[in-house]
Amino acid sequence: MSATAAVRTRAVAGAPARRRVWSYWRFYLALSPFYVLFAVFGLYPMLSTIVLAFQRWDGLSARKFTGLDNFAFLVRDPTFWQALENTVVLFLMSTVPTLVIALLLAVMLQSAVRFTSVYRIAYFIPNVTSLVAMAIFFSSIFSTNFGLVNAALRSLGIPQQDWLGQPWGIKIAISTMIVWQWVGYNTLIYLAGLQAIPKEQYEAAKVDGAGPVRTLFSITLPQLRPVILFTVIMSTIGGLQTFTEPQVMVGNSGGTGQSGMTVVLFFYRAAFLDNDYGYAAAIALSIFLLVLLFTAINWRVFRGRGEDR
């Protein structure tokens, strides 16, 4: 790759090998919008979040440096631990089914001959819909006396459940919505990955007499590993930031026993409802560490084994 790139550069600029950095200004200008925006609206706020995490501030009076107070309080705040647990449980309850279903659908879609584009478009539609509208929709179908889910249960002779009033019911409702929304997206990504696997590998497996299950485990999954890593990381980043679904479905308090309280909702409350900005910053930093930790774990699980590339 580097050889062709060198040719290209010469072709475009037609300049000698050693030039001043400034002569590349067009490229830097082309890249600048992202970096400038990031510096102003990304980097600077994050740096001040770090500073803020060591301060106490209500948004009105002067800021006070309080050292590690915010963190000391955070580790002893039962609501924080609960929010953490909720977030991880919700993440597992939604991401695992999403990715498994998406993978199965992708494998099936690839072996189906007809109507594949109809399926693909239809599967993706949940992802291009209004999130708040769908959160309202899901809270209505899970409502106690008049919800569709309970109507279905009753017609099967099963007693109705108070879905959005029960700690586990809240989690089921929220993760159902996330699964519904993200299966199609991940199916498309997996399908792209599947199409990139060379056909010869499958033919060779067929010659060896491997059945569909063995083919799945010996060829499809290993070949798909980087794509799976990509989807797992994207789901981790998204899943650990769940906010809209619980906020719309059970409100700012997080519902019964705060079982819909996610870390981002906890953060939002501390900052914009309680005006406890320093504490909110400390929460934000902890969530960031959590995301890093999860990403690192994912990386090890999906990439670290055997061949490092």
Partner 1 sequence: MRFRWRGLALHAVLVLALLVFLFPFVWTIIMATNTTADIYRFPPKFSFGGHFFDNVRHVLDNVAFFQSMANTAVVAISTTLLVLFFDSLAAFTFAKFRFPGRNALFVILLATMLLPAQLAAVPQFQTMALLGWVGSLKALIIPGAANAFGIFWMRQYFRSSIHDELVEAATLDGCGFFGTYWHVALPSARPALAFLGIFTFVGSWNDYMWPLIVLTNPDHVTLQVALSTLNRAHGVDYSMVMTGALLAMIPLVIVFAVFARQFIKGATEGAVRG
Partner 2 sequence: MALTRRTLLGGFAAVAGGALVGCSSGMDTGTTKKNTATELTMWCWPGGLGKSVLDDTIAHFPDPKIKYSEVGGDFKQKLVTTFNGGTSIPDITGLKGEDIASLLPQAERFVDLKTVGADSVLGDYLDWKVKQATTLDGKVIGLPIDVGPTALYYREDVFAAAGLPSDPAKVAEQLKTWDDFFAAGVQLKKANPKAPMVWDATDLYDMVVGQDTERYISKDNKFIGDQDHIRKAWDTSVKAMTLQIDGRTPSGKPDWNAGLDLGTIPAHIGAAWVALDIKSAVKKSAGKWRLAPTPGGPANFGGSFLAITKNAADPQKAFDVIKYMLSPDNEAKAFADAQIFPSTPAAYDKPQLKAADSFFGGQVPIDIFGPAAKAIPVAYQSPFDDAVAGPFHDELKTVQTGAKTSDAAWSAAVSKAKAIAKRQGVQ
Question: To 10 degrees, the CA torsion angle through 108, 110, 111, 112?
Answer: 80
- Show the tokens assigned to 35: 């970096």
- Show the tokens assigned to 42: 């990304």
Nearer of residues 27 and 217 to partner 1, judged by Cβ: 27
- Show the tokens assigned to 245: 């679904």
Question: 3-state DSSP call for residue 209?
Answer: coil
Long-range contacts of 54-61 (CB under 8 A, 24+ apart): 54/278, 55/278, 55/281, 56/278, 56/279, 57/277, 57/278, 58/275, 58/276, 58/277, 59/275, 59/277, 60/275
258 binds partner 2 (CB under 8 A): yes
Residue 208 binding target from partner 1, partner 2, none, CB below 5 to 8 Å by type: none
Q: Which residue has the tokens 């963190």?
A: 71
Least distance from partner 2 to the Cβ atom of residue 51, Å: 7
Residue 302 binding target from partner 2, partner 1, none, CB below 5 to 8 Å by type: none
Least distance from partner 2 to the Cβ atom of residue 47, Å: 8
Interface pattern 50-69 for partner 2 (x via CB under 8 A): -x---x--xxx-xx------
- Residues 185 and 252: their CA atoms lie apart, in Å, by 28
Residue 62 binding target from partner 2, partner 1, none, CB below 5 to 8 Å by type: partner 2
Residue 279 binding target from partner 1, partner 2, none, CB below 5 to 8 Å by type: partner 2
195 residue type, one letter? Q
Binder of partner 2 out of 252, 299, 300, 304 (CB under 8 A): 252
Nearer of residues 45 and 222 to partner 1, judged by Cβ: 45
Residues that bind partner 2 (CB under 8 A): 32-33, 36-37, 39-40, 44, 48, 51, 55, 58-60, 62-63, 73, 76-79, 143-146, 162, 165-167, 252-258, 272-276, 279
